[in-house]
Amino acid sequence: MQLDDLILVSIDDHVVEPPDVFDHHLPDRWREIAPRVERAEAGADVWVFNGAKVPNLAINAVSGLFPEEYGLEPTAYEQIRPGTYDIHERIRDMDANGVLGSLNFPSFPGFSGRLFATLDDKEAALALVQAYNDWHIDEWCGTYPGRMIPCIITPIWDPEAMAAEVRRTAAKGAHAVTFCENPTKLGYPSLHTDHWDPFWAACAEEGTNVCLHIGSSSQLAITSPDAPVDVMIVLQGMNLVQAAADLAYSKLFAKFPELMISLTEGGIGWVPYFNERIDDTWRVHHAWTGADFGGRMPSEIMREHVVLCFIKDPHGLRTAREIGVERICWETDYPHSDSPWPNAPERLWEELAGADLTNDEVDLITHGNAMRHYSYDPFRHIDRADATVGALRAKAAAAGVDTALRSSGRPIPEREGPLTIMDVQKVATA
Amino acid sequence: MQLDDLILVSIDDHVVEPPDVFDHHLPDRWREIAPRVERAEAGADVWVFNGAKVPNLAINAVSGLFPEEYGLEPTAYEQIRPGTYDIHERIRDMDANGVLGSLNFPSFPGFSGRLFATLDDKEAALALVQAYNDWHIDEWCGTYPGRMIPCIITPIWDPEAMAAEVRRTAAKGAHAVTFCENPTKLGYPSLHTDHWDPFWAACAEEGTNVCLHIGSSSQLAITSPDAPVDVMIVLQGMNLVQAAADLAYSKLFAKFPELMISLTEGGIGWVPYFNERIDDTWRVHHAWTGADFGGRMPSEIMREHVVLCFIKDPHGLRTAREIGVERICWETDYPHSDSPWPNAPERLWEELAGADLTNDEVDLITHGNAMRHYSYDPFRHIDRADATVGALRAKAAAAGVDTALRSSGRPIPEREGPLTIMDVQKVATA
């Protein structure tokens, strides 16, 4: 196998919603309450919703910008790459990166769609969730069949309504949903209650994979506000270790044997350690904690039910068999700052060279697992020969996709010494 | 090499302070303010200090009890193994576990000695810290030369006084100090300020290793109060990943090139992933964050300055060379619930069998690194032939050390279903 022969599906990228999200799918009676984009000032577009301005129009959408500018949170469409919000441009950017398929998470509604929960009128809020999903499935994913994997949001304030939306969208072909890695941080009951059972049941029955993205509880691990921002970045994946521990000792998989969950952007290299830790905790402590896995080990159960993914993770690839090759997916995180776009294939190839995997295993990790876990079949629409890194990049080259780095146009402010978490939070909320 | 030939030094165990800690080392003028043990009620001894009762007399001191009873926080000396608070019994328990040397952390003063900071009279507080250290060095560690590695506490409210105490105790042979993995959680400035510089400087100059034990900021990662307590246990080691990220991107090692820090009870199996993550974060983000390691990679610097340890960690041993064999130490965590006492050698042997390490590497991990990093030389006092697992256990057998599990005598309350974090916190504070 050569680099150009890889077929790449990324299960974690992001859409910056264009201004017309609610133009074609929202019933007229809710027109007035639809979020809309306003130009607040030069270089600042904001979503206006429910009487408030939502600042994160283009959260961390920095692919294609000079790395020196990553710290300047983009605040307007003109500052970001059109591939972030325009599906035609997105496909061109995917081609240039050799990526066949992509699962996209939302930006301004929050990873779990929590924004819509702020509306008192829950009927209206549900209409917005549905319109968002219809836009996502029909327009964002539907324009180029076989290229995008739909991932829906849900009305998180009502588990029965969540279940109904999972079923409604599954009927339209969507088999991934973005939820929250720790609902208690958003003020909802934990994974250890029965509260969410209708939702889990619907996902299990419909084969809809529940994606828990880092930061989806709207919190990241922060050691102290004056720590270098790098500390927060280093720890991003580790946010999901807590969710993994919750899942491992939850009743979810005993109650819903068909349920599948993804830990998105959590990386994989920590999993061999974690597997041993959850099993040893059972061995040493179950006599007093009462933990009971029906004669099995928690790591076995996790291996069957929890999908993992990585952007760059050489140690994880070297230990892929220990982790479970059949549950490892790949991601590019476009257009966020950790994304290796447009050089993701080269980076992956280098890491695969350091791992001792068969071609079949590589195929699973690069696309086979994503196809199975998210009920995604690009080959109904696209010939395999046209789906490879080489073929897609040839298409991008022919179409003249320009991947040269550029400036967002915003001046970089003077600063003294390394940026702290506090500095970046000031920029983000400015 | 056979199991009986191992020489084992544990760099993380715990002392439950006996009632006479302050009897012989506190100047008479402070006699009135010394913490003292009182019997609050049947089966409940408490330390009384500064007008308050300190409940954690014997925090998690469960070695030797039936595992079913681990959840019942011991509250009195009569409930715990005498080896936890009596040095003669401790040595017998170490012999039975084949352990030559042991570094002990405090119990009731808190890992960082923060209890004494609550006293308004800081002169008196300093006298207590010094008396505690003198008891620890002269009595707890001094009674059996070559068996215990001293580890001091400091007056954390005053970095200059901390430095002075580091120097005073280094002169007495103590080259380890227990500090706090994130001082901001205790209300002090972070590792990223200059606040602690006198302390770091003294440690660097005196060759005193700064130990950051899990929970030393008095916080553990908790996902939600209703999560099974197992979730909290699983995540214990991961608490130190945050400290590791802080250290990696701090200025500490640039400012104090001789400074050595230990991440205590953090495990090691997550480190290969973490090394790659801190380096990749630098590569991808330094252009905007300003992170600067003078042309080196953060993982290289961490490898030189950060000592790690494990209780049980097969993946970590399999990847020991990636982690850095020269910085991995071993621990038994006696008398806490994760401790494999009295079978620690068997457990370690089994894990070593799964790792491909040379005898020299095994020697480093089992005792060589601990000797070097904590300036500990047991062989000035004890012949190597008398220091092995086999020799120590033969001595314990001859002395009739009884390692049979026993009950603390407290009845186990009825309960429904697995214990939650909340349940255990109720027991701990009852």
Contact list in A for residue B418 (CB cut-off 8 A) is 249, 289-292
Reported confidence tier of residue A429, pLDDT bands at 50, 70, 90: very low
**Mean of all residue pLDDT scores within chain B:** 95
Contact list in B for residue A68 (CB cut-off 8 A) is 287-288
Angle at A105 between CA A101 and CA A108, to 5 degrees: 145
Query: Cβ–Cβ of A288/B420 closer than 8 Å?
Result: no
B-facing residues of A in 219-278 (CB < 8 A) are 221, 223-224, 226-231, 233-235, 237-238, 241-243, 245-246, 248-250, 267, 269-270, 272-278
Query: Cβ–Cβ of A289/B230 closer than 8 Å?
Result: yes
Least CA distance to A191: which residue of chain B? B227
pLDDT in tens, A185-241: 999 999 999 999 999 999 999 999 999 999 888 778 889 999 999 999 999 988 899
d(CA A156, CA A50): 17
Quote the percentage of chain A above a pLDDT of 90.
Answer: 88
d(CA A84, CA A34): 21
Choose from A216, A281, A332, A407 for mutation: most chain B CBs within 10 A.
A281
Are the beta carbons of A1 and A359 closer than 8 angstroms? Answer: yes
B425: number of CA atoms within 13 Å, CB side?
13
Least CA distance to A251: which residue of chain B? B228
What is the nearest CA distance from A21 to chain B, expressed in angstroms?
A: 32
Contact list in B for residue A192 (CB cut-off 8 A) is 224, 226-228, 420
d(CA A28, CA A411): 42
Instruction: Give residue B222's pLDDT.
Output: 87
d(CA B343, CA A116): 55
- Residue indicated by tokens 């060379």: B321
Largest interatomic CA distance in chain B:
65
Q: How far is CA B213 from CA A157, A269, B12, in A?
A: 40, 24, 9
d(CA B30, CA B165): 18
Q: Give the predicted TM-score (pTM) of the model.
A: 0.96
Instruction: Give residue B430's pLDDT.
Output: 40
B-facing residues of A in 58-77 (CB < 8 A) are 66-71
Q: How far is CA A187 from CA A24, A236, A261, in A?
A: 32, 22, 21
From A49, A183, A169, select the one nearest A108 (Cα to Cα).
A49
d(CA A424, CA B77): 51
**Mean of all residue pLDDT scores within chain A:** 95
Q: How far is CA B122 from CA B115, B116, B127, B135, in A?
A: 12, 9, 8, 20
Contact list in A for residue B221 (CB cut-off 8 A) is 242
B342 upstream amide cis, omega within 30 of 0: yes
Amino acid (one-letter) located at A402: D
- Facing residue for B227 by CB, picked from A190, A314, A337: A190
pLDDT in tens, B221-258: 889 999 999 999 999 988 899 999 999 999 999 999 99
A92: number of CA atoms within 13 Å, CB side?
16
Reported confidence tier of residue A427, pLDDT bands at 50, 70, 90: low
Are the beta carbons of B260 and B307 closer than 8 angstroms? Answer: yes
Can you read off the two tokens belonging to residue B41?
A: 């009620």
Choose from B250, B289, B318, B328 for mutation: most chain A CBs within 10 A.
B289
Instruction: Give residue B73's pLDDT.
Output: 82
A322 CB near a chain B CB, below 8 Å? yes
Instruction: Give residue B281's pLDDT.
Output: 97
Q: How far is CA A316 from CA A295, B57, B114, in A?
A: 28, 42, 39
A50 CB near a chain B CB, below 8 Å? no
Instruction: Give residue A23's pLDDT.
Output: 96
Least CA distance to A192: which residue of chain B? B227
pLDDT in tens, B91-148: 999 999 999 999 999 999 999 999 999 999 999 999 999 999 999 999 999 999 999 9
What is the nearest CA distance from A377 to chain B, expressed in angstroms?
A: 32
Q: Which helix (H) or strand (E) holds B40?
A: strand B36-41
Query: Cβ–Cβ of B285/A417 closer than 8 Å?
Result: no
Query: Cβ–Cβ of A66/B322 closer than 8 Å?
Result: no
Instruction: Give residue B427's pLDDT.
Output: 56
- ipTM of predicted assembly, 2 dp: 0.96
d(CA B369, CA B101): 12
State yes or no: pLDDT of B214 exceeds 90: yes
State yes or no: pLDDT of A55 exceeds 90: no
Are the beta carbons of B6 and B365 closer than 8 angstroms? Answer: no
State yes or no: pLDDT of A110 exceeds 70: yes
Query: Cβ–Cβ of B270/A267 closer than 8 Å?
Result: no
From B48, B24, B54, select the one nearest B36 (Cα to Cα).
B48
Are the beta carbons of A267 and A244 closer than 8 angstroms? Answer: no
Instruction: Give residue A430's pLDDT.
Output: 40
d(CA A45, CA A58): 9
Can you read off the two tokens belonging to residue A24?
A: 């074609």
State yes or no: pLDDT of B42 exceeds 80: no
Query: Cβ–Cβ of B290/A415 closer than 8 Å?
Result: yes
Query: Cβ–Cβ of B287/A233 closer than 8 Å?
Result: no
Choose from B62, B224, B232, B322 for mutation: most chain A CBs within 10 A.
B224
Average pLDDT over residues A413-423: 85
Query: In DSSP terms, which residues pair with A420 in a beta bridge?
Result: A228
Contact list in B for residue A226 (CB cut-off 8 A) is 190, 192-193
d(CA A305, CA B180): 37
The SS3 of residue B181 is coil
What is the nearest CA distance from A318 to chain B, expressed in angstroms?
A: 11
Can you read off the two tokens belonging to residue A152?
A: 């829906």
DSSP letter assigned to residue B57: T
Are the beta carbons of A269 and A323 closer than 8 angstroms? Answer: no
Query: Cβ–Cβ of A233/B281 closer than 8 Å?
Result: yes
Are the beta carbons of B125 and B155 closer than 8 angstroms? Answer: yes
pLDDT in tens, B309-353: 999 999 999 999 999 999 999 999 999 999 999 999 999 999 999
Phi first, then psi, for residue B309 (nearest 5°) are -150, 165
What is the nearest CA distance from B267 to chain A, expressed in angstroms?
A: 9
Quote the percentage of chain A above a pLDDT of 70.
Answer: 99
- The full 3-state SS of chain A, as one line of letters, equals CCHHHCCEEEEEEECCCCCCCCCCCCCHHHHHHCCEEEEEECCEEEEEECCEEECCCCCCCCCCECHHHCCCCCCCHHHCCHHHCCHHHHHHHHHHCCEEEEEEECCCCCCCCHHHHHCCCHHHHHHHHHHHHHHHHHHHCCCCCCCEECCECCCCCCHHHHHHHHHHHHHCCCCEEECCCCHHHHCCCCCCCCCCHHHHHHHHHHCCEEEEECCCCCCCCCCCCCCEHHHHHHCCCCHHHHHHHHHHCCCHHHHCCCCCEEEECCCCCCHHHHHHHHHHHHHHHHHHHCCCCCCCCHHHHHHHHEEEEECCCHHHHHCHHHHCHHHEEECCCCCCCCCCCCCHHHHHHHHHHCCCCCHHHHHHHHHHHHHHHCCCCHHHCCCHHHCCHHHHHHHHHHCCCCCCCECCCCCCCCCCCCCEHHHHHHHHHC
State yes or no: pLDDT of A428 exceeds 70: no
Average pLDDT over residues A239-262: 96
B347 CB near a chain A CB, below 8 Å? no
Q: Which residues contact A304 (CB under 8 A, 6 or more apart)?
A: A253
pLDDT in tens, B166-195: 999 999 999 999 999 999 999 999 999 999
In terms of pLDDT, which residue wins out, A376 or B58?
A: A376
The SS3 of residue B333 is coil
